[in-house]
Amino acid sequence: MFQNLVEVAGETLDLIFRQIDAGQRSGALNILTTDSSHPIRLAEQRASPAGQGSNWHCQAGPLPIACHPYMTELSELFSQLSEDVQTALNDLGWNAPTPVQEKAIPLMQGGGDLIVQAQTGSGKTGAFGIPLVEAVDTTRDVIQALVMLPTRELANQVAVEVTTLGKHRGVRVLPVYGGVGYNEQVESLERGVHIIVGTPGRILDHLSNGRMSLDDTRVLVLDEADEMLSLGFWPDMREVATYLPKERQSHLFSATIPEKVRSLSRFFLNEPEFVAIDDGLSAPQQIEHYYYVCTATEKDPLLARLLEHEDPESAIIFCNTKADVRYVTGYLKKRGFNADQISGDLPQAARERAIQKIKAGDLKYLVATDVAARGIDISDLSHVVSYAATDQPEVYLHRTGRTGRAGRSGVAISLVSGLDIGNFKHMQNVNKIQIAERKPPTEKDMLGRVRERLQVKVEQDMRRRPPEEMRYAVERLIPVIEEMAKSHEGRKDLAGICAAYLAEDQPETTITTEAETPASSSQGPKSPDEENRGRPRGKRRRGAGGGNRGGRNSGGGRNRNR
């Protein structure tokens, strides 16, 4: 056995392979590439017994790479791409497309709109990234494609991958997101970029201030569309649409396709083709079903974490016993959740008050037994949570049937103990429902989710106020914030302010019927922001939705004095 470490340029990997004695049954060669155009990566060659060749294995590297020493022949689909993109694919070690790439790339290149249901890790970034970089005209320093997604982390990740795909063609990609300074983004925009990858809020900031133009944008991609809606980005997405040309391609990628995502597709897309990667999935589902496996001691903190992560508009939490109803209600209230209960032990007047509160939007979480919840008619619950999962098929259907009503989307979550998983899966088979298991969100996931939610709300509220007024107020408060943040008590006060601010009102996550169905007139329906401000409507400057080509208005356009 031997190991040699050799520094080489990425273009000359095939020149440094060592001969392994025929008598050696195994050997190894480590190759470290330090070519400035490639990420550092490490591969290892393990020699098989004589006469059986050598097997190559990746040891490390931030990107998937080809571990065979010689360039592998590309698949038929990839071999039809430009030489520059083929070179980029070999840099990444992509010799054959993933299923989502194999289906989506030809359809995108064919010119139609797409809805693609694919999970994270399926290769969906390449599915839209490859056609985007292929279509860019690098002789024109204008924004030709826009990718909108929910978080800054995802924006950075996607921008890096699309940059790698387009680097040999000279495609310039800019990640755009909030929470960072404007200067670097503005300088890049002034120099000229071809593809924008970013969050709707910061994109809208640049558009409304005249720093960015989408007049030449011909392709729109909505990535992780379900997450963008969950975080409250719908008003920003609707506003960004008014800056887009009528004639364009639009594509929507999402892990789940509930009704709210379908409504989003009707707003942005024109007669899209639906592509599903998961086996047995042929159409979108109105209610999204999933479950978490947990122990008895994990259940309470998991419930609290899920409610904070999901941030439902309204939800019923089902328990199997009256004692559990009392316990769960108390547990949630102690942790600041807006929760109340109904059970057979409560007087009728108290039960009716709780029901009226959740119908009026004054109560977010209603904890109930199945018996107490009978006859309750709440048309717009966003979530149903089974604190104690049921193994009875008819009970599960009754519970989950309380969400996803009247054309709205819904989410059904079940907390299942390891001992009950067999019965729970039997219930799925009887009801012919596919319920996916999910991993609980981590503390890092939670912090990122709350930060993004706070950032979205701040950006939306700041855009509703005169810029000069906000600039002065912010500058005045920065020293106050810095002083408060020096002490633990001060940080607690700041956290309390943020918590109260987030609790003031819910983000707008529902696409209304008026918004998704374009009006035939030149004026679309007013957005809630415009109605609140009482500002007059102006005629649209540009067309909005992909489904509204030919001059139909997609709702919410304003004058653009750019």
What are the pLDDT digits (tens) for 145-154? 999 998 888 8
Closest CA to 16 of 56, 70, 94: 70
Lowest mean pLDDT among 164-168, 474-478, 527-531: 527-531
pLDDT at 132 over 90: yes
H/E stretch holding 531: helix 528-533
Looking at residues 319-346, what average pLDDT do you find?
89
φ/ψ (deg, to 5) at 220:
-120, 135
Q: What is the length of the chain?
A: 562
pLDDT score recorded for residue 298: 93
Lowest mean pLDDT among 11-20, 125-134, 181-190, 385-394: 11-20
CB atoms within 10 A of CB 130: 27
What's CA 206's distance to the chain center, in Å?
21
pLDDT at 507 over 70: no
Mean pLDDT, all residues of the chain: 76
76-276 and 287-443 agree in CATH topology? yes
pLDDT at 14 over 50: no
DSSP E strands in 129-211: the ranges are: 145-148, 173-176, 195-198
User: With bands split at pLDDT 50, 70 and 90, how would you rate the model's confidence at 7?
Assistant: very low
pLDDT score recorded for residue 249: 96
Looking at residues 367-385, what average pLDDT do you find?
78
- What residues does each domain of the chain span? 5-60, 76-276, 287-443
CATH class, 287-443 region? alpha beta
pLDDT at 54 over 60: no
pLDDT at 541 over 50: no
Are 415 and 301 spatial neighbours (Cβ–Cβ below 8 Å)?
no
Predicted TM-score of the model (pTM):
0.57
Lowest mean pLDDT among 333-337, 362-366, 553-557: 553-557
Strands of the sheet with 54-60, listed across from one edge: 5-8, 28-33, 41-47, 54-60
From residue 414, give the alpha-carbon distance in Å to each of 198, 311, 376: 33, 16, 20
Relative to beta strand 28-33, strand 41-47 is antiparallel
The CATH number that domain 76-276 falls under is 3.40.50.300
More confident residue, 504 or 103: 103
